[in-house]
A and B are shown apart, each in its own frame.
Chain A
Amino acid sequence: MTGQGTATRALTDPAPAVPRFYRVVSRREDTGDTVTVELAEPAGPVPAFAPGQFAMLTALGVGEVPISVSGLGDSGGGRARRLEHTLRAVGAVTRALCAVQPGGLVGVRGPFGTGWDVASAAGRDIVIVAGGIGLAPLRPVVLTALANRSRYGRIVLLAGARTPGDLLYSGELDRWRRDGVEVAVTVDQADSGWSGEVGLVTALIKPAGLAPGNSVAFICGPDVMMLVTADALAALGIPAGRIRVSLERNMRCGAAWCGHCQLGPLLLCRDGPVVGYDRAAALMRVREL
């Protein structure tokens, strides 16, 4: 599995704690507090990240935070591989990272952790459920599935956002629809210009008409949202082992050394962030973890 190999690589990497410096080559403001940056390493090829894996990004002089890849940037017609990260300004480090302009430098360590393992869904329908900023780590799942369209059945994307203005990648959603992705979006709070759905993201599941016996689900969002969504999908009949969630805790070292990201028996920087719901369900319900 992708994650297993990655974990081994992280542990044997001679310098997993040393950041490489990448240059911001593009910067796009997605919402009022969210920015997507494209990073390229001037000195060499970008390490191969898999969808779902994360990097530790350093804002120079401020600090370091774990951010999942939101794009692998290798479909640009022969240009060098690039990394895309979608960042939400929620604290000092992410605010500093969001403020880096094209030409500026960002420290990058990684890839770390397990991936979504999209390839394992070959021959099945892909069900992607995103809540809020959780759409960012799932974007590579959509892009990977579209790049290998014939390998998969239906691609269903169900996304929830706080308000229409908080919805990520709104332009891309239309493009994905045109490319055959079944996209449904709901918001918690509508405004006067919103003509779409209003309600919890789980309300989108039933109308999607999923085939639970032939589906693999990928879920990312706040823990509570992932729990209720995974439970709803499991109740529909998707086996827990074919439901994957992305768990984020206090990732620090990225190499399973420091233990800050421990969730019961898991060190999420190595054993996560992507975890099968068959393992995650019980752990997510332990109050102390």
Chain B
Amino acid sequence: MTDTVAARIAAHSFFAALTAEQRAALAGDGRAVMFTAGERIFDDGGIADRFWLIEDGGIALDMRVPGRGDQIIETLGPGTVLGWSWLHPPYRWHFGAVARVATTAIEFDAPAVRRRCDADPAFGYAALRLFTPVITERLQATRLRLLDLYASPSQLRQREIQQADT
């Protein structure tokens, strides 16, 4: 941990619901990192042993689709959290992640944070309350995108035909 990381965590709105002690403890599991544009951060199926608070830049979540290459599922920008697969077994990434541009972030040691959560249920509950809204928001956004709201009737018909044909 560095004082800089502690100060950055203390100043960030994402951690505002934590107590000063909890933020300080979390800072002990964090470090500042940088990714160059195009740098792969993790692959789907890999061990989810870290998570990041993106401070600047941008990340693309992707998935390798045979015949179609890496398909971008979603992009994440400054102020958002990258990674929650570390919260639950089997602790494997469900998607890949790549830096779209030069990106700075605070990287957290996920097993260390999990141990801290287990040892201190109040800290664990507070941490869970930080991540639950992130998960919920992304789930809701995904559901809405599934509705294909912007599609024209002909695009929807085309999609139905494709689905029926597969």
Please list the residues of chain A having a beta carbon within 8 angstroms of any beta carbon in chain B.
33, 88-91, 131-133, 160-162, 166, 186, 188, 190, 192, 194-200, 202-203, 206-207, 221-222, 224-225, 228
Contacts and interface: CB of A to CB of B under 8 A. Distances in A.
Question: Across chains A and B, which 10 residue pairs bring their CB atoms closest together, nearest first?
Answer: A132-B150, A200-B141, A162-B150, A222-B149, A190-B72, A197-B75, A199-B74, A198-B75, A207-B77, A198-B72
Most chain B CB neighbours (cut-off 10 Å) among A91, A188, A195? A188
Contacts of A197: 58, 75, 77
13 contacts: A33-B152, A89-B152, A90-B153, A133-B150, A160-B150, A194-B72, A196-B75, A197-B75, A198-B72, A198-B74, A222-B149, A224-B147, A228-B144
Given A195-B100, A199-B74, A200-B141, A131 B149 contact: yes
A188 B148 contact: yes
A203 B140 CA distance: 11
A234 to B, nearest CB: 15
Contacts of A162: 148, 150-151, 155
A194 B140 CA distance: 24
B121 interface: no
B152 A225 contact: no
Interface of B: 58, 60, 69, 71-75, 77-80, 100, 140-141, 144-145, 147-155
A131 B153 CA distance: 16
A203 B74 CA distance: 10
Contacts of A225: 144, 149-150
A266 to B, nearest CB: 23
Given A198-B60, A200-B145, A203-B141, A188 B150 contact: yes
Contact of A161 (B58, B141, B147, B150): B150
B148 A91 contact: no
B102 to A, nearest CB: 14
A91 B78 contact: no
B73 A222 contact: no
Contacts of A196: 75
A198 B76 CA distance: 8
A214 B149 CA distance: 30
Contact of A206 (B74, B79, B140, B154): B79
A196 B152 CA distance: 22
Contacts of B154: 33, 89-90
Nearest to B60: A198
Given A33-B154, A200-B141, A200-B144, A221 B73 contact: no
B145 A188 contact: yes
Contacts of B141: 199-200, 202-203
Which of A132, A192, A195, A197: most chain B Cβ within 10 A? A197
A133 B151 CA distance: 10
Contacts of B77: 197, 203, 207
A203 B153 CA distance: 26
Contacts of A186: 75
Nearest to B101: A195
